[in-house]
Amino acid sequence: MLLLQANVDDCSPEWMAHAMERLLEAGANDVHFIPVTMKKSRPGILVQVLCYRSRLEALKTILFQETTTFGIRYFPAACHRLARQFLTVKTAWGEVPVKMGYHRGTRVQCSPEYAVCARLAKEAGVSVKEVHQEALYLARQQLRAGE
């Protein structure tokens, strides 16, 4: 994988947000903005994009089109991604998929899908915290029963 970086000191934050959206749609694995202090007291932004090498050209083009940067640099990165499994839990507000991550055969992550929790929370008029904690609760129960 590659980590792309571009410094931006003359670009509206609104445009940056649009660039983020387009980069993600075009296959970036992650995009985030780091606040930085630049020369001449400019409160600029360091854009970081994580992607497969095969997406490099497409993502560079978007960065040049949508931001005001004149240069992009990139670094090759080794990556370790957890093996994943899913289960589904039934909350009072609807079903929620839960993503689990395994490291050397041991479950280390157990993460209810945020987007589903947020949708159910909105529909039911409860907080996303409530739905998320309940889904986590049920997932733990289910995993414990299966062990």
**Phi, psi at residue 121, to the nearest 5°?**
-60, -45
Contact 115, 105 (CB under 8 A): no
By CB under 8 A, is residue 99 in contact with a copy of itself? yes
Chosen residue from 74, 87, 88, 94 binding a copy of itself by CB under 8 A: 74
Q: How far apart are CA 58 and CA 60, in angstroms?
A: 6
Chosen residue from 26, 58, 82, 124 binding a copy of itself by CB under 8 A: 82
CB 140 to a copy of itself: min, Å: 5
By CB under 8 A, is residue 87 in contact with a copy of itself? no
By CB under 8 A, is residue 31 in contact with a copy of itself? yes
Q: Is 104 helix (H, G, I), strand (E, B) or coil?
A: coil
Chosen residue from 55, 66, 93, 135 binding a copy of itself by CB under 8 A: 66
Q: Is 89 helix (H, G, I), strand (E, B) or coil?
A: strand
Nearer to a copy of itself, 95 or 122 (CB): 122
Q: How far apart are CA 134 and CA 17, in angstroms?
A: 32
